[in-house]
Amino acid sequence: MRGYFGIGVEGISKASNLGAITRTAHAFGASFTFTVSEAIHIREVDSVDTSSSSKSVPFYRFPSVEEMLLPKDCSLIGIEITSAAIELPSFHHPHCAAYVLGPERGILSNQMLDRCDYVVKVPMKFSINVGLAGALVMYDRLLSMGRFAPRAQRPGGPVEPKPVPVFGQPAWIKKRGSKNR
């Protein structure tokens, strides 16, 4: 898969939610994670991030939206419920992207929304947990980037034949009808 992605949160206040996001980002292969204006002590996150993602995925802290830095040509995508937001199933993910979610009891700041290249919403009746919203966005990115066979037309999985091993069967498997000498 070409490109990369990072994911972060603005104004997060619960270590467990940040831990869930960083752990899930690690599992989905994120290139980096970040916070902007967090309202927690980052040291608390290590106790809830059971994958120790900070040892494998770079983590950045930005004191404010103005001080937030992203790689060159990286699109910033805000995840927020607004009337103008693109619904996630209709969104074409950029190859190089950073996703930012809002705080648990609030929304992305106007300064952050102004910096976003796109604003996307998970099509729900109401707001869901920030960690779960982040996981849904990362899962949708993974599905839409084309690493998998197309969905089956009927219930179940793809009905494609399994690939044949390149070098044939291992020598220790007897072929049907062969005699043991």
Full set of structural domains in the chain with CATH = 4-144 (3.40.1280.10)
The closest of 131, 128, 100 to 116, measured between CA atoms, is: 100
Q: Where are the beta strands (DSSP E) in 11-81?
A: 32-36, 59-62, 75-79
Q: How far is the C-alpha of 138 from the C-alpha of 94, rounded, in Å?
A: 13
Q: For 120-173, how does the pLDDT look when each residue is reduced to its tens digit (9 = 90+)?
A: 999 998 889 999 999 999 999 999 987 788 777 778 766 565 555 555 555 555
Q: What is the mean pLDDT of each run of 10 residues along the chain (181 residues)?
A: 91 88 93 89 60 80 96 97 94 97 92 97 91 96 84 72 54 52 47
Please check whether residue 99 is in contact with residue 5, taking contact to mean a CB–CB distance below 8 angstroms.
yes
